[in-house]
Amino acid sequence: MLKPLGDSAILIQLGDAIDPALNQRVHALSALLQSIPAVIETIPAYCTILVHYDPLGTTYNQIKNLIEEKISHLDESTHRPSRRLEIPVLYGNASGPDLEPAATTLALSPSELIRLHSEREYTVYMMGFTPGFPYMGILDERLTLPRLSTPRTRVPAGSVAIAGSQTGIYPVDSPGGWHILGHTPLKLFDPLSESPFLFAPGDTVKFTPLPEGEGQG
Amino acid sequence: MIEILDLTGIATLQDSGRHGWNKFGVPTSGAMDWFAYQAANSLLNNRPNSATVELGLGEFTFRSLRNTVLSVTGAGYEVENYIWTFPLWTTFYVRAGWTVRVKKINGGNWAYIAIAGGFDSPVIMNSRSAYLRGGIGSALKAGDVLHSFTPTTDLLKLAARDFPVDKFMPYSQNPTLEVIPAPQADWFTPEGIRTFYESEYTLSPSFDRMGYRLQGSPIKKAITKELISEGVTVGSIQIPADGQPIVMMADAPTAGGYPKIANVARASLPLLAQCEAGVSRIRFRETTVEEAHEKHKLLCRAGF
């Protein structure tokens, strides 16, 4: 389903749910759209893609037809091989101040919570909110928690956190309402680097617990 | 090359924006008023993507360290050079050592100060546009020296040019903005849609480069479920629970979870950008993508 969003973007709606299979179609289609010359960039999200196009380089009907053609080839196209990243995480204590309270609320031990969070592979559904923030899912349903009732005014960069059915990592110090389970020493956003972002939408991610005393660098 | 002597309000370097990073959560940024920005560069034969100083709601006093030609466009300012006062949308020759002040007067929010050759500054992720919330670039301050590229046109040929802005951009305290219905337009009641197109809105004083919050009759929704976050763009008009529209501007987040009733057309964005908080009365008129493309093309052809 295609609808205009203003005079230089089109929203493609592939479904209406937060669902891993649907989100894979989103990323596969987003990759296919890059070959359309008038496309400036795309924003793949959970179940939609926003396509920015150059209004001086195409008409609405032309770009709409080109997108529809790509959608018709979506199912036969081989899905873009997604990258798989291992993210080291130091769980608990000062690195993850919400680990113990979250475990208590969920009626789990902290080590069970760590196991359930780190044994799954997640997909980066979309990025946003702040530059480089990966929205990942789906969490084991035993880890589902509402957001903090009072968001923190400052969550340190590298904080690994959960909320609802999702997990994410704060790329820069920012306010935040997710439960902080741990910290990764990896840098998620470096504007001066050739490739400024650690993650890309569609990536596969797995967390690896670090033994205590490591990962503080 | 200029040296900033005094500065109030907010001033940053802005170009035509940072493209290709939206999917990573980086806004496009760039000038709030794309028309005034392009005109400022066009007056000086600068390359279309050249960086300009964007001055918001303040005054900017600088000394030129070289002989050069400058242009200032936008709304709500004038230029003072000792005993002379220049209107905006003109170019003027400035000798090394002269002091120039860009002064806030009535109406408008943003002025664009372009220099022959264009300002030179570090390119971060393919753009010179500052995005302060993301730690990209920095706010300009007194004492900063801004470098510029060597102009390709003889300075004397660039001086004393006028841009006939009145012919192209109807800046107004009471603009009617052309909008295209957005993907969730059917989430609103027929009464809500009527409210949106038939009543007047004012700009809240807490506006910034990220978004313009409007105040007026609340817009009623028929569907109240949560929207799954999806991409938004400059001009997207989101309606949160209180029914008061928020228009996404240059530094807006790349995605949002509020339903969108409509999207401001490119040709109308400069009019909104320059609306005065609490004073301007803003109305909306529905248009089609095709009509919006025609107007945008006319502006681009006629204006530059």
pLDDT digits (tens, 9 = 90+) for A146-169: 988 888 999 999 999 999 999 999
Q: Catalogue all structural domains in chain B, each as residue range(s) with its CATH number.
A: 2-167 (2.60.120), 176-301 (2.40.100.10)
pLDDT at B146 over 80: yes
Judged by a CB distance cut-off of 8 A, whether residue B229 touches chain A is yes
> How near does any CA of chain B get to the CA of A111, in Å?
32
Q: What are phi and psi of A67, to 5 degrees?
A: -65, -45
Question: Closest Cα to residue B274, out of B31, B17, B23?
Answer: B31
HSE-up of residue A199 (Cα within 13 Å, Cβ side): 32
Q: Which of A52, A126, A200 sits opposite B233 (nearest CB)?
A: A52
B25, A132: Cβ pair inside 8 Å? yes
pLDDT at A213 over 90: no
Q: What is the pLDDT of residues A54-108, one digit of tens each?
A: 999 999 999 999 999 999 988 766 666 679 999 999 999 999 999 999 999 999 9
Q: Which of A72-86, B62-76, B93-107 is predicted least confidently?
A: A72-86
> Which amino acid is present at A185?
P
B125, A56: Cβ pair inside 8 Å? no
What is the average pLDDT across A158-181?
94
- pLDDT for residue A79: 63
Three-state SS across chain A? Answer: CEEECCCCEEEEECCCCCCHHHHHHHHHHHHHHCCCCCEEEEEECCCEEEEEECCCCCCHHHHHHHHHHHHHCCCCCCCCCCCEEEEEEEECCCCCCCHHHHHHHHCCCHHHHHHHHHCCCEEEEEECCCCCCEEEECCCHHHCECCCCCCEEEECCCEEEEEECEEEECCCCEEECCEEEEECCCCCECCCCCCCECCCCCCEEEEEECCCCCCCC
- pLDDT for residue A212: 76
Please give the mean pLDDT across all residues of chain B. Answer: 96
> How near does any CA of chain A get to the CA of B50, in Å?
19
A50, B26: Cβ pair inside 8 Å? no
Question: Closest Cα to residue B270, out of B130, B106, B76?
Answer: B76
Q: Which of A147-151, B54-58, B105-109, B198-202 is predicted least confidently?
A: A147-151
What is the average pLDDT across B98-112?
95
Cα dihedral sign, A142-A144-A149-A152: positive
A128, B253: Cβ pair inside 8 Å? yes
- Which residues 140-169 of chain B have a CB within 8 Å of chain A? none
Percent of chain A with pLDDT over 70: 95
Question: Closest Cα to residue A94, out of A15, A197, A212?
Answer: A212
d(CA B140, CA A12): 39
**Chain B interface test: which of A5, A39, A198 (most B C-beta within 10 Å):** A5
- Which residues 192-221 of chain B have a CB within 8 Å of chain A? none
What is the average pLDDT across B127-147?
96
What residues in B contact A203, CB-CB < 8 Å? none
What residues in A contact B182, CB-CB < 8 Å? 3, 5-6
d(CA A24, CA A18): 11
CB A48 within 8 A of CB A167: no
- pLDDT for residue A80: 60
Q: What is the pLDDT of residues B31-44, one digit of tens each?
A: 999 999 999 999 99
CB contacts < 8 A (A, B): 139
> How near does any CA of chain A get to the CA of B33, in Å?
16
A7, B125: Cβ pair inside 8 Å? no
Task: Kindly calculate the radius of gyration of chain A based on its CA atoms and give it in whole angstroms.
Answer: 19
d(CA A81, CA A168): 22
B134, A130: Cβ pair inside 8 Å? yes
**Chain B interface test: which of A1, A3, A7 (most B C-beta within 10 Å):** A7
CB B125 within 8 A of CB B136: yes
Token match 């230089």: residue?
A8
pLDDT at A40 over 80: yes
B228, A126: Cβ pair inside 8 Å? no
> How near does any CA of chain A get to the CA of B182, in Å?
5
- pLDDT for residue A217: 42
B180, A4: Cβ pair inside 8 Å? yes
What residues in A contact B260, CB-CB < 8 Å? 5
**Chain A interface test: which of B16, B230, B291, B297 (most A C-beta within 10 Å):** B230
Judged by a CB distance cut-off of 8 A, whether residue B255 touches chain A is yes
> How near does any CA of chain A get to the CA of B134, in Å?
7
CB A129 within 8 A of CB B26: no
Please tell me what DSSP assigns to residue B107.
Answer: S
Q: Which of A6, A41, A55 sits opposite B23 (nearest CB)?
A: A41
What residues in B contact A197, CB-CB < 8 Å? 24
- A63: its two tokens: 């770009």
Phi-psi region of B55 (alpha: psi -120 to 50; beta: other; left: phi over 0): beta
**Chain A interface test: which of B24, B136, B184, B228 (most A C-beta within 10 Å):** B24
Question: Closest Cα to residue B37, out of B245, B220, B299?
Answer: B299
- B172: its two tokens: 């107004």
> How near does any CA of chain A get to the CA of B140, in Å?
19
Banded model confidence at residue B262, pLDDT cuts 50, 70, 90? very high
B125, A4: Cβ pair inside 8 Å? no
How far out from the chain centre does Cα B36 lie?
8
Banded model confidence at residue B258, pLDDT cuts 50, 70, 90? very high
B24, A131: Cβ pair inside 8 Å? yes
Q: What is the pLDDT of residues B156-212, one digit of tens each?
A: 999 999 999 888 999 999 999 999 999 999 999 999 999 999 999 999 998 999 999
- B47: its two tokens: 């390359």
What residues in A contact B253, CB-CB < 8 Å? 128-129
Beta bridge partners of B180: B263
Give the pTM. 0.94
CB B74 within 8 A of CB B113: no
> What SS3 state is found at B166?
helix
